[in-house]
Amino acid sequence: MEYLLQSALLKDMKEVHALLLASASEGELLPRSLSDLYSHTRDFFLLKDPKGAVAGCCALSIVWEDLAEIRSLFVRQDLRRLGHGRLLVEACLESARAFGVRRVFTLTYRPDFFGALGFIEIGKDKLPQKIWADCIHCPKFPDCDEIALQRDV
């Protein structure tokens, strides 16, 4: 089967929201509201199956003049370990380069995956813009159990 990588459209966001909520309920990532997803539609790359259903997603969120975050990475369970996650992250990294972003970070429960893509672990104290913009609103703050990793682009 051939899967298509594309930028998200507004009409995709309800499907993305459902996938992210299911993944959040399994403890794989943090939930995001539908309103938040609509306002960040342009951040998302999608992997679509041959029937047009969303099979994976990943977002690049610009945080500061030289810093962006990879977030909301999801690949459908039956498609994992086939390179689709890597494809989505690489699309975000290419987008970061196009915007002139020098550093990309992620907060994740899967540090080995990102480590294989050249990300290195850092302390969350290296991300003050993220902490004050998003993390203080998180129900896990200040006891975040995600791992911070960063990569130069």
pLDDT at 75: 95
pLDDT at 124: 80
Quote the DSSP letter at residue 146: P
Query: Averaged over 95-118, what is the pLDDT?
Result: 96
Evaluate if residue 18 carries a pLDDT over 60. yes
Banded pLDDT at 25 (limits 50, 70, 90) = confident
Please answer whether residues 61 and 69 qualify as being in contact, where contact means their C-beta atoms are separated by less than 8 angstroms: yes
Q: Is 67 left (phi over 0), alpha (psi -120 to 50) or beta?
A: beta
Spatial distance between the Cα atoms of 106 and 85, rounded to a whole number of angstroms: 14
Average pLDDT, the chain: 90
Evaluate if residue 131 carries a pLDDT over 70. no
The domains located in the chain, with CATH, are 4-152 (3.40.630.30)
Give the global pTM: 0.89
Number of H helices, E strands in the chain: 5, 7
